[in-house]
Amino acid sequence: MQIETVDCAIFFEWEYDVDFVTMLSDRLRTLKIQHAVFKPGEFNELRKRVEEKSLFIRTIIDRASDVDEDCAAAVLTLQRRGCRVINDPTKITHASDKASMHLEFITAGIFVPYTMIISPFNAEREVRLGIGELAKLGRPFIIKPANTTGGGVGVVTGAEGLQEVIETRQHHKDDKYLLQSRIEPVSLKGRRAWFRPFYVFGEVLICWWDDLTHLYARASEEEIVEFNLSEIANIVRKIYKVCQLDFFSTEIALTQEGKFVVIDYVNEMCDMRLQSFHYDGVPDETVRAVAASLARAVRRGLNKRG
C-alpha cells in the first residue's frame, strides 16, 4: 500500500475559524509548504486512513482534537509515529488545569490573584470555608472551574457569598474550583490596563483587551515603551516555561499598586476571529502575525527533519 505523506495539515472544527485557517493556508503556500486542511465531516475518514497507515502527516496545526473524537484519535496515532503537533495534546492537558497552573505560577514567581482552591463536589460534598476565609477574597469575587472554562464557561464573575460557591461547584461535579479576588486594573490615559498577549514560538504579541467590553486593540510600539509593557512579554515567556505550549494567550492586568497580575492563566485554544468581521475579534494585524509565525515554525521543523 502506498503511503501519502503531507508536510503540514490544519485541523479545525469551529465555523468561525475559517478566516484564520484561510490566512494560515495562504502563509504556508507563500513559503511553498505542501499542506492540507481537514474540517468536520472529514475526520472519520482521516482517522481510518491514519490507522491503516495510508496517510502520514509530518506536522499538524491542531484546532479540533479537543472536541472531535475521530480527530483526537488520528492526532494521537500520528504523534506516536513521530508527527509534530502544535500544540502537543499532553501539554494542553497539563496547561488547561487552572488549579495546577495557579500553583506552578506562584512557584515561578508570577503574580496571580489571591485564590482558594476547593475540591470537586464528587470528592467532597461539603465546602469547608469559614466566613473569615471568604472575607479574604473581598466582594464580589470570582468562581471558576479548574478545567471547564473555555470561552468563560462556568465562570461566575460577581459572587457575593458561600451559597453561590455551594451552588456553582455542582455544575461541574468532578472539577476543582478556584475562588479568586477580583482585580481592578489601573487606568492608563483613560484605558483599562488589561491585556491579552499571544505567545507564538517565542514571539509575544501584545493586545489591549477590555475585560468589560471584550474589545481588542493592538498595543503600538509607542505604547509599549510609554507604559513599560515590555514586562508583559517577560511574564509571558515565564508562562511558556511553565506550560511549554508553543501557541497560547493569557490575560494580564496592571493593578493600582503597579503589579502585572496574570488573570486567566493559559488559553490553549486561542480565539482567532478577525476584528474586521467580528466586533470583539482579534486585530487583523495580530492574526496575520500569528499565522506568519506559525508558518515559519512549520518550515523550521520541516527543515530540521530534512
- SS3 state at 67: coil
- SS3 state at 3: coil
Tens of pLDDT along 96-134?
999 999 999 999 999 999 998 888 888 777 777 767 777
Residue found by looking up cell 506552578 in the block: 104
| Helix, strand, coil share of the chain (percent; to 5) | 35, 25, 40
- Residue 152 is predicted with a pLDDT of 53
- 4-87+290-305 topology per CATH: Rossmann fold (3.40.50)
Q: E strands of 103-250, at which residues?
A: 115-118, 141-145, 156-159, 177-181, 187-188, 191-192, 194-200, 203-209, 216-218, 247-249
- Residue 157 is predicted with a pLDDT of 80
The gap from C-alpha 214 to its chain's centroid, in whole angstroms, comes to 16
- Residue 217 is predicted with a pLDDT of 97
- Residue 81 is predicted with a pLDDT of 93
**What is d(CA 118, CA 120) in angstroms, rounded to the nearest whole number?**
7
Residues 6 or more apart from 244 whose CB is under 8 A from it? 88, 91, 94, 95
- Residue 201 is predicted with a pLDDT of 97
**What is d(CA 296, CA 61) in angstroms, rounded to the nearest whole number?**
12
- Residue 118 is predicted with a pLDDT of 84
- Residue 174 is predicted with a pLDDT of 84
**What is d(CA 28, CA 22) in angstroms, rounded to the nearest whole number?**
10
Partners of 178 in the beta sheet? 117, 144
- Which runs of consecutive H residues, i.e. helices, occur in 5-140? 18-30, 43-51, 69-80, 89-95, 98-107, 131-135
Note the CATH architecture for domain 114-181.
2-Layer Sandwich (3.30)
pLDDT in tens, the chain (306 residues): 678 999 999 999 999 999 999 999 999 999 999 999 999 999 999 999 999 999 999 999 999 999 999 999 999 999 999 999 999 999 999 999 999 999 999 999 999 999 988 888 887 777 777 677 778 888 888 888 888 655 555 688 878 788 887 788 888 888 888 899 999 999 999 999 999 999 999 999 999 999 999 999 999 999 999 999 999 999 999 999 999 999 999 999 999 999 999 998 999 999 999 999 999 999 999 999 999 999 999 999 998 876
Spans of all domains in the chain: 4-87+290-305, 114-181, 185-267
User: ∠18-20-24 over CA atoms, to 5°?
Assistant: 115
- Which runs of consecutive H residues, i.e. helices, occur in 116-265? 131-135, 162-168, 221-226, 230-243
- Residue 148 is predicted with a pLDDT of 65
**In this structure, what are the phi and psi dihedrals at residue 201, rounded to the nearest 5 degrees?**
50, 50
